[in-house]
Chains A and B, each alone.
Chain A
């Protein structure tokens, strides 16, 4: 297992270097002068020159990249040009709602998808299976923002059961906080549940066709004992992979969901930074998200090796 960790860590390094180069290049992809894009045209020339100097845009590009990487390695992701605060502080203030949203969405998706995926595969071509596959198709084709607006319309506007926007911290306000996260988490969770349901159904069906399942049935085990004891663990391996692959989806979905429900999370911060043309903040947050995404995928890879010992020796 140690060798697997080391191998995967080493493989991550060149990707991280390229990711930093990509994020650095973002500001230079701007058509025209990025300073003109970031600041109003009417802004004073001295102010523009100061910002240009501050961002190092008056230097040759290789020096800019070197200086940027040097600061990065010292934990300095730059400062927002709007509020002047370091990127890390901006993100630190917004991370909690995002993590709470992601955790609740993940929980909702697993609670829904696990029984639905298992039942769909075990009762193939029955009404349960048809419901499961329709649900999966619906969730995969439904845009997050449309699902969010449907939930707002029914549970917020028509039934008035749940708040339609805003955020209260569940760790401080308890139930009120939880209620503020229900609709956003449902939006994200239903979409994720659709993908997990489809994958679990498919991998369960593969596992159910294996010889060891036939043997287990021939021994006289009940169908549920076979599923619990022999099928489920083998069927979970692709599900873990898909959950890992879906982390990007979760982050992307969180951007939209936080925007629709006015949640002050990191996703909302990205959107705000994009529209404020606050490029240092966009660079910093996008880099943090990408690094977080790479590390999460690394964790999933390692988890995969832990679940399936054969992976460790490849």
Chain B
């Protein structure tokens, strides 16, 4: 759901995660986690979709049958056929080639914004949880303030001031997702900092930064990874929504959202302009959701439903 760009799973279930999760067992064994994720019912399907999307994005210059920007005004709104598998758009550009290049934009925005939010939110949550007191209060109220904006409206407002383009969208979405990670990290830090091994490290005179790096961060990583894997799909939806509204990558560059927006005027004559990139977007988001759910199930089976 385009509007639900922050609706991504486990933040609201953070208390459950603050108990010692099964993630502890999986920590340090990424292959074991992947194996477990692959054993879930829909996980493998999601992995196939994700790997296909990544391959298409990496190989876009090689596999794209046409130049995605090249116009052919003698061949506009051509139906899907042998020459153009997904047809052409209103200025004769090959829809399939533009979809292939659009995959890059979507994945860059999805993974980029979540990575940014993970870094910023993780640091802020670590700071809040570790410092406590006024710093904690200030950081968390700040996060509450960000959460007080409907996500898409906030992204739109930030996109407006940062300017249209992929960078602006990635930063805007990064800001939108930061509080989720900050809350999650803070919760983890508070739980982990009260554990005996942290107290022992403290009693042995280990400095705060070392405790944070060696004991807190590795133990807090699992829920953050789960949240990240669930958030990427929603970040891709959000980028598509912003591009649809005209704030993403600017024409003539291709993105799924902007292609759908450009094609909606030709819905009757050439529905393939809309439904081609629409299907790509939907399948990618469903696939990434499966991956997110599988990672969550593998890292913390108690959250499985």
* A interface residue numbers (CB < 8 A to B): 14-15, 18-19, 21-22, 26-27, 29-31, 137, 139-146, 149-150, 152-153, 157, 188, 191-192, 194-195, 202, 205, 245-256, 259-260, 270-271, 274-275, 277, 279, 282, 286, 289-290, 293-294, 297
Nearest-CB distance from A272 to chain B (Å)?
A: 11
Q: A293 touching B150 by the CB < 8 A rule?
A: yes
Given the complex, which residues of B lie within 8 Å of A259, measured CB to CB?
A: 245
User: Closest CB of chain B to A232's CB: distance in Å?
Assistant: 19
User: In chain B, what residue has the closest Cβ to A266?
Assistant: B153
- State in angstroms the CA–CA spacing of A150 and B271 once bound together: 10
Which chain B residues (216-238) contact chain A, with CB distance < 8 Å? 233, 237
Do residues B3 and A141 form an inter-chain contact, with CB atoms below 8 A?
no
Given contacts A29-B158, A256-B244, A271-B245, contact A144 B153 (CB under 8 A): no
| Complex contact B141–A14 (CB within 8 A) | yes
Q: Which residues of chain A are within 8 angstroms of B267 by Cβ–Cβ distance?
A: 149, 152-153, 157
Residues on B with beta carbons closer than 8 Å to the beta carbon of A270? 153, 156-157
The docked-state distance in angstroms from the alpha carbon of A202 to that of B304 is 11
A248 is contacted by which of B6, B157, B268, B289 (Cβ under 8 Å)? B6
B146 to chain A minimum Cβ distance, whole angstroms, is 7
Q: Are B7 and A143 within 8 A (Cβ)?
A: no
- Chain B residues 1-57 with CB under 8 Å of chain A are 1-7, 12
Which residues of A sit under 8 angstroms from B3, Cβ to Cβ?
A: 144, 188, 191, 248-256
Taken together as a complex, chains A and B put the C-alpha atoms of A29 and B159 apart, in Å, by 10
**Are A256 and B2 closer than 8 Å at their CB atoms?**
yes
Q: Size range of the interface on B?
A: 35 or more
Residue positions of B touching A, CB distance < 8 A: 1-7, 12, 141-142, 144-146, 148-154, 156-163, 233, 237, 240-241, 244-247, 257, 260-261, 264, 267-268, 271, 274, 278, 281-282, 285-286, 289, 305
In the complex, which residues of chain B have a beta carbon less than 8 angstroms from the beta carbon of A18? Answer: 141-142, 144-145
Q: Which residues of B contact A149 (CB under 8 A)?
A: 260, 264, 267, 274, 278
Residues on A with C-beta less than 8 A from B162 are 29, 31
Q: Report the separation of the CA atoms of residues A192 and B278 in the bound assembly, to the nearest whole angstrom.
A: 20
Q: Are B260 and A145 neighbours in the complex by a CB distance under 8 Å? A: yes
B245/A146 in contact, CB under 8 A = no
Which of A19, A145, A289 gathers the greatest number of chain B CB atoms within 10 Å?
Answer: A145
With A153-B267, A157-B267, A256-B245 known to touch, is A274 a contact of B144 (CB < 8 Å)? no
Nearest-CB residue, chain B, relative to A251: B150
Q: A255-B153, A286-B149 are in contact. List 6 more A-B contacts (CB 8 A).
A: A145-B261, A157-B268, A250-B3, A252-B4, A274-B160, A297-B148
When distances are taken between beta carbons in the complex, the residues of chain B under 8 Å from A157 are 267-268
- Residues from chain A with Cβ under 8 Å of B157 in the complex: 26, 270, 274, 282, 286
Q: Do A15 and B282 have beta carbons less than 8 Å apart?
A: no
Given contacts A137-B289, A249-B1, contact A143 B241 (CB under 8 A): yes
**Cα distance, A141 to B150, chains bound together (Å):** 18
Q: Which residues of A contact B278 (CB under 8 A)?
A: 143, 146, 149-150
Q: Using Cβ atoms and an 8 Å threshold, which residues of chain A touch B289?
A: 137, 140-141
